[in-house]
Structure 1
């Protein structure tokens, strides 16, 4: 059954990846967009905690999780093939000193697969949106008339291929090779008025498009051991070295006529900028290094509580094609605290006792600083994993409530509610034949 679902989900995901608008955040105007990837629904339901690993869930943050001990239900012979796909619906209330507005987006978040390769190796692959651009902004002049309109769309996607190796029963190592690709388009329209305050016939439009591509690595370690007969320690570490991605840039200037009712822009004439003469037709963008580590304790198949810290060297980020005077990047950090509880994973009398209940909280400095105000994020999350089918497959529901940004210095505060849904499907593809 899982093999048929894989084909359906791959086709669906390929269509959605190019069609979806992944964010409505005005902060996606900066850099290469707002970070979309924060782990699986299971991770996000625990405040973004990614240090917990097991044999039945895909872990997208740590490639060492591709390999784990064989399952007893499989006679200690192998592990299941794991497949996961997720989608989310995000509702945002944008609040400013001048008023507020609501917006929402619905997106496909990731698709990934992990499979065993013998007793000590595991293999993983997948695709997901990494950052997303989707803003629509405007400012007014002294007469309260529209002076400029800004909009952007696109983002950076990530396809990955990874391998995990179980060094010992307690220690595993893994590495992902990520291919980053995508395109970002930024548009700015200037409105001019005559002496009587009437808009002139033509508006001016500047449009910049950047096509992005490049490789980077993600290296991971996991360590788990029994502290005593009941308690287990789990810890994890991941590191992504700094890397560059290539940006192929084009820019055009046009005189346009805007339809007052539909907002459609009709080009009267246009000219392409000679970016090659400025050395800006092809530029390099720096993807900052990222370090994450954490640990937690729990009773296997019963409960877990962990803490994780992430540091990203975003102060090294630069984008030569876009220069913004009032914004800069500083080093980013995030603290996640969360865990889960299973009343009785082996219960035959109650379905809800076999469910996994998750909760967490995170505090994040996004690394973006505007008008000398740091853009921070706080979120509380909850979730439940519902058993479906066999081989420990499950459907995961997640709810995240939080706040990003501030209204200080005429900025925008985002109050968001995110609902996530994922299917975590397991199957047995490799089974040793037995002969009497």
Structure 2
């Protein structure tokens, strides 16, 4: 390969590592947790949507309806031993809402990107079979999978909550390869569609008033796939043949069993600490890439939020200040090198009005992934997410003095 992987600006990502598997697994969440290192499995939240643990939906207040709409912008820079480049993307990050059904029973629906694909490989050199001649081709990939989730949370008591999550994963990955030999041009388009339903469960328990633990389980699933291919051939700028093939099945892509544990606690009076650990059993999927294998993954996340006075008279007393750190040791090993990465996050929760829990959540993260070694690429990225976390109040009696 003579060129470095880069990205198309209309993609949801520009990471060169989106070349592998289903693409880069989306890490951004909903609302406040983006600024807290993406930690929230044990985070008790009654004023915003916490989609990291379905059991938390049991805490949706009576007569409240929560919305969360988000956008994300990302600036990536990546380099290998001889080349570097930068790309930026801007796109939708999530759509979610949550509401109470009955006493201690809440529900929510969310739509988020599950994986993102956006890469270009320039100048791939290939030998012509039966000769010593070679040709160069360019390959582009775009797309990814979406996660449409339905969550239910129920409080067995004031302190203990259980939840269930059903996710419909769907989407496609488009890959185009084009190359020229003499005065002929060939282009192969492949569109691979994947879909499947994944189930998960969650729990939260308030050991003390200001100390909560939580856990989540995501069950393994095999995503069914099929591919449609189109071949275009031209000679002297005249298209001489077009072949469209019917969809063929492809190997299932297996998602592993995922276990998560978390806790949150109040420190002093104004600080909330949240910490998570996740282990994903990729080894058991027995999958591999052409250049690597899938191995078990560990993710560590920690976040801190400062709130001086939730009902304070001064606006800045009600602003929430957040920071966090996330480390992911990776799930893909290329030439026996794991692709690990980290992210440092910061955020603000800006109240909208005084009579509701509506919030404008703004977060920033700086992250790094990979390394300059062999065929690997070092990637650094800056990410900004903006979430409109809004509360609508239903059926509340108005008081008139």
Residue 343 of structure 2 corresponds to which residue in structure 1? 379
Alignment of 1:26-425 (within 5 A): 26-50=16-40, 51-68=42-59, 70=61, 78=62, 80-139=64-123, 141=125, 147-192=136-181, 200-226=182-208, 232-256=210-234, 268-272=240-244, 281=249, 283-298=251-266, 302-317=270-285, 324-348=289-313, 350-389=314-353, 390-425=355-390
Distance 2:231 2:32 in 1: 46
* Deviation for aligned residue 1:235: 1.4
Q: How many correspondences in the alignment?
A: 382
* Deviation for aligned residue 1:293: 0.5
Deviating above 6 A after TM superposition, structure 1's stretches of 4 or more consecutive aligned residues are none
How does the TM-score come out when normalised to structure 2?
A: 0.88
**Do 1:55 and 1:79's aligned partners in 2 also have CA atoms closer than 8 Å?**
no
* Deviation for aligned residue 1:383: 0.2
Matched position secondary structure for 2:168: strand
1:25 to 15, 18, 28: 15
Which structure carries more strand by proportion? 2
Residue 11 of structure 1 corresponds to which residue in structure 2? none
**Do 1:120 and 1:166's aligned partners in 2 also have CA atoms closer than 8 Å?**
yes
Report the RMSD for the aligned CA atoms in angstroms. 2.6
Quickly say closer, same or farther: Cα 1:207–1:352, change in 2 above 3 A: same
How does the TM-score come out when normalised to structure 1?
A: 0.81
Matched position secondary structure for 2:17: helix
